[in-house]
Amino acid sequence: MRLKRFVSLTLVLSLSLSACQLSDLQTLVGTEQVITKEPTWSVDGDTFTTTASYDIPEGTESNTFSLVINDGVIKSIEIGITADNKASLKYQKDFADNISSLIVGKKISELKSIDRVSGASLTTNAFNEAISRLQSELNS
């Protein structure tokens, strides 16, 4: 009887620890992002363009962000999509399809950090970093 309880307790503890470690790993992978290169913007008339590269669990991704800004107001945005895997491609396309409605018509100086766009948290974070850098460059 004691051996049966010991084996049962050991099994329960092992499974609990394994589940806890897996959960911690999934949380870390799901939220960790490292910008691999600080984005710098190039300017051609009213068009501001940058490429933001960032690490994802499967490797490194990048997006090109191109904004037309006139009199401090964002007139349009284009997103360059570079993803190789299906999940990243879906998130980047969804981001590109929906970001315009959130920023076009707003002043670049007043644009705040944007919450996740269409589930694309890593692309959104890269975009926020790029916009923050552009605001700093325009204010210098």
Alpha-carbon span 120 to 130, nearest angstrom: 15
At 62, give phi and psi (nearest 5°).
Answer: -150, 155
Q: Please report the pLDDT score of residue 16 as a whole number.
A: 46
In this structure, are residues 88 and 56 in contact, taking their beta carbons and an 8 Å threshold? yes
Confidence (pTM) = 0.72
pLDDT band at 17 (very low <50, low <70, confident <90, very high): very low
- Say which DSSP state 51 is in: E
In this structure, are residues 92 and 127 in contact, taking their beta carbons and an 8 Å threshold? no
pLDDT at 20 over 60: no
pLDDT tens readout for residues 80-90: 998 988 989 99
Alpha-carbon span 66 to 58, nearest angstrom: 25
In this structure, are residues 101 and 76 in contact, taking their beta carbons and an 8 Å threshold? no
User: Average per-residue pLDDT in the chain?
Assistant: 81
Q: Please report the pLDDT score of residue 32 as a whole number.
A: 45
pLDDT tens readout for residues 47-72: 999 999 988 888 889 999 999 999 99
Alpha-carbon span 28 to 25, nearest angstrom: 5
Q: Please report the pLDDT score of residue 124 as a whole number.
A: 93
